[in-house]
Amino acid sequence: MTPARILIADDDPAGRYLLVSTLTSAGYETYTAEDGAQALAVARGEAPDLIITDILMPQMDGYQLCREWEADPSLAHIPFIFYTANYADEEDERFALSLGADRFLRKPLEPGALLAEVKTLLENHRPSGVLPKPTKPADEARVLREYNARLVSKLERQLEEVQQANDQLVEMMNGTVRAVAKLTEARDPYTSGHQERVADLAAAIARRMGHDHLYCEGIRTAGLVHDIGKIAVPAEILAMPRRLTTEEFALIKVHPGVGHDVLSGIRFPWPVAEWVLQHHERIDGSGYPAGLEGDEIDVGARILAVADVVEAMSSHRPYKTGAGIDAALEEIEQNAGRFYDVGVAAACIALFREDAYSIPAANSGAVYSR
Ligand SMILES: [Fe+2]
């Protein structure tokens, strides 16, 4: 006996693959289509013994495919199964069956249960050429209205799923960025928490400047990893309890470039690697590594620079006691236009003096003062 041939219509390759492997391992022959229009075309060329279709597909969706299938005397007798995402509701099922489908199955179904349905339908299949169900005179307008409503509700639920998956990805990215930030700081316990505090302050400055939420999150992300390149700087230099020699400082100066190299491999939705590369550049060209001036420095990097200096000055370091927030703001105020962007400096000062912003509590570690 020749095996029954089953047509599978699904735009998702993984969905097609699962059905093909389940059905072929049970001895059926399968062929596939990526949407309703293709399914209709191949079925008209070579009719299957049964069709299993998804609902949401490009070109022609499953509902439309079902309507055309049932209206085609050469296909209408062939058992028709909807096999669709688990968020389908009872209204979807009622509508699908009203179009003439034989079954409405929800993913994921145990392979055994799916195969049992297929077997039942193939055994009791409607004889060729006989229209399957007494179709009521179709109220075309009502069917179309309901069809649209069903489709919109399915799209909404699918969108919700995509949104959830997206939120999960963002959360995962944030977690990864934080883990990497901690890794850098593990070698430099004196500045533990520095990147986190710079990230918070930089994002607050960006918000105060009127940047949108997404941009502020980009700035926060860059802040969290802005010193990641210090991974390439010897730990004893990072923790040196005195002012560095020129040679030692030259080693520190490689960190923006290393950070850029590390981060440029990640496709952030913001120029994070570029901002990190430029976070020690100064408006008058006196910064490093490239000595960029004014507008050559991206505004994101100008924000990071101010947040970095304010946080560093107000916190203790191995080589100095924290000068305090007032001294830090004074430094920014005095050197706005020279080292720091005027707009960024103004936003930072307003943040502390008008909005009562305060840097999140510092992690108290061993402090060398001198
Ligand atoms: Fe830095």
Q: What is the CATH number of the domain that holds 25?
A: 3.40.50.2300
- Please give the distance, rounded to the nearest whole angstrom, from the Cα atom of residue 353 to the centre of ligand 1: 25
So what's the pLDDT on residue 290? 96
- Please give the distance, rounded to the nearest whole angstrom, from the Cα atom of residue 352 to the centre of ligand 1: 22
Could you tell me the residue range of the domain that residue 187 belongs to? 160-353
Q: CATH no. for residue 255?
A: 1.10.3210.10
The amino acid at 365: G
* H-run or E-run covering 272: helix 272-277
Q: Are residues 48 and 185 in the same domain?
A: no
Q: Are residues 243 and 199 in the same domain?
A: yes
In a domain, 34, yes or no: yes
Q: Are residues 207 and 329 in the same domain?
A: yes
Tokens at residue 331, please? Answer: 């430094």
Q: Are residues 194 and 239 in the same domain?
A: yes
Q: How far apart are alpha carbons 264 and 266 in whole angstroms?
A: 5
In a domain, 305, yes or no: yes
- Strand order through the sheet with 50-53: 29-33, 5-9, 50-53, 80-84, 103-106
So what's the pLDDT on residue 359? 84
So what's the pLDDT on residue 264? 93
- Please give the distance, rounded to the nearest whole angstrom, from the Cα atom of residue 356 to the centre of ligand 1: 26
Give, in order, the Cα–Cα distances in Å from 151 to each of 11, 103, 277.
16, 18, 48
- Please give the distance, rounded to the nearest whole angstrom, from the Cα atom of residue 253 to the centre of ligand 1: 8
* CB 35 within 8 Å of CB 7: no
In a domain, 182, yes or no: yes
Give this prediction's pTM.
0.64
Q: Which residues does the chain have with pLDDT short of 70?
A: 86-87, 126-140, 189-191, 316-322, 362-370
- Please give the distance, rounded to the nearest whole angstrom, from the Cα atom of residue 279 to the centre of ligand 1: 7
- Looking at the structure of the chain, the number of domains it has is 2
- Please give the distance, rounded to the nearest whole angstrom, from the Cα atom of residue 286 to the centre of ligand 1: 15
Give, in order, the Cα–Cα distances in Å from 311 to each of 138, 200, 202, 361.
72, 10, 10, 11
What is the residue whose two structure tokens read 């949407």?
Answer: 35
Torsion of CA 198, 199, 200, 206, to 10 degrees: 100
* CB 226 within 8 Å of CB 276: yes
Q: Are residues 108 and 213 in the same domain?
A: no
* CB 241 within 8 Å of CB 370: yes
